[in-house]
Structure 1
Amino acid sequence: MGRRQAELGRFTDVALLVLISLAEDAKHGYRMIQDIEAFSGTVLEPGTLYGALMRLEDRDWIEALPIVDRRRPYRLTPAGREALSEQLATLRRVGETGVKRIGPAALGPA
């Protein structure tokens, strides 16, 4: 990862990353950390993740499931799926505007 990408990484919205991770299936914290790193390159500390989980649970966008093998999985709620869908639509518009303004050639290979 380049220096500029590493700098931008700190601005990544943790809640969005959690919602994207849980859109696939229910996961416990460590599995979410691994999944988020795999698809985004963002390494989350447990405290950061659990703070986001608490905020998302307060909004009823995720819900905790019963503990399995000393791990508590979480899943996306219908309200969370809707919030994620709206956020992704906004990001798509922002991304398309950015590509138009910078030019696709400036982005390099996909």
Structure 2
Amino acid sequence: MVYALDVESLSEQSFLILAALADQPRHGYGLVTEVAAMSQDRIQLRASTLYAALERLTGRGLVEPERDEVENGRLRRYYRLTDTGAAAVQAETERMTTQARAAKQRLARRAQQPAPRLGLSG
């Protein structure tokens, strides 16, 4: 099914947060660890950054709170991906795949070209 979305460009952090929610709801710390794992530790979300992003994504209807649980005396809010959020992840994934494919094709063509000759002008 193709969704007609007004998908504003997603930041890499927002994309990874949405992707981390694609398979199951997660709480804040779970999202921080999933985003770190998915980015091979390149992206380390701070709590303030995460919750600001979750607020924006919730406002756009891409995620929503699912439930609150108390664990070890601490309240944990779990978030889940909405259908609109899943469609946004799908659309962004397809966009990135298309761009990566185009880049690979250009690199392959470049590799087939003769190396440029460096001439000395004198």
Q: How does 1:14-93 map to 2 (within 5 A)?
A: 14-40=13-39, 41=41, 42-69=43-70, 70-93=75-98
**Structure 2 regions of 5+ residues with no counterpart?**
1-10, 112-122
Work out which of the two has the higher radius of gyration on C-alpha atoms and give 1 or 2. 2
- Which position in structure 1 is the counterpart of 2:114? none
Query: Larger strand proportion, structure 1 or 2?
Result: 2
Give the superposition deviation at 1:66: 2.1
For normalisation by structure 2, the TM-score amounts to 0.72
Structure-2 separation of matches of 1:27 and 1:18: 10
What is the identity, as a one-letter code, of the residue corresponding to 2:95? T
Tell me how far 1:49 sits from its aligned partner: 0.9
Query: Structure 1-normalised TM-score?
Result: 0.79
CA contact (8 A) 2:28 2:50 kept: yes
Cα contact 2:16–2:38 (8 A) shared by 1: no
Equivalent residue pairs, number = 94
| Residue 106 (structure 2) pairs with residue 101 (structure 1) | yes
Deviation of 1:54 after TM superposition, in Å, equals 0.5
> Greater share of helix residues, 1 or 2?
1
**Deviation above 3 Å: which 4+ runs of structure 1?**
none
